[in-house]
Amino acid sequence: MPVYHIVLFRLKQGVTPTQLTNWSKVSQAMVGQIPGLRSIKSNQPLPISVPRAKGFDMGLVAVLDKPEDVAVYAKHPAHLEVQKIREELCEDTLAYDLEFEE
């Protein structure tokens, strides 16, 4: 059963669109490098969601093959590089992992 790794980000003041584009490209490059990582998508919330987003202004959904892959993903060097970028750009994050039967 796939696992959906959902992360919300509260960006620091002054983060530029160029920085977000770079972060997204580096994140996308993890697919194929990290075992079990099927896909990863990120974007800012739809305008209708902004009032309910509690200040989180960026999100991602990563799809992994199985629950055990979340730990592999978390410790993988490619993910650790993405985390360094996250630390530069974000003041807060919220992560949540879900599993659904297919």
Distance, CA of 80 to CA of 64 (rounded, Å): 17
Taking the CB of residue 4, how many other CB atoms lie within 10 A of it? Answer: 13
Per-residue pLDDT of 65-78, as tens digits, reads: 999 999 999 999 99
Taking the CB of residue 7, how many other CB atoms lie within 10 A of it? Answer: 19
pLDDT above 80 for 12:
yes
Residues of the domain holding 48? 3-99
Contact 14/89 with Cβ under 8 angstroms? no
Between 72 and 1, name the one with better pLDDT. Answer: 72
At residue 16, the pLDDT reads: 95
- DSSP lists the bridge partners of residue 77 as none
Report the CATH number that the domain containing residue 82 is assigned in CATH. 3.30.70.100
Number of domains forming the structure of the chain: 1
Ordered alpha helix ranges (H), 1-102: 17-28, 68-75, 77-89
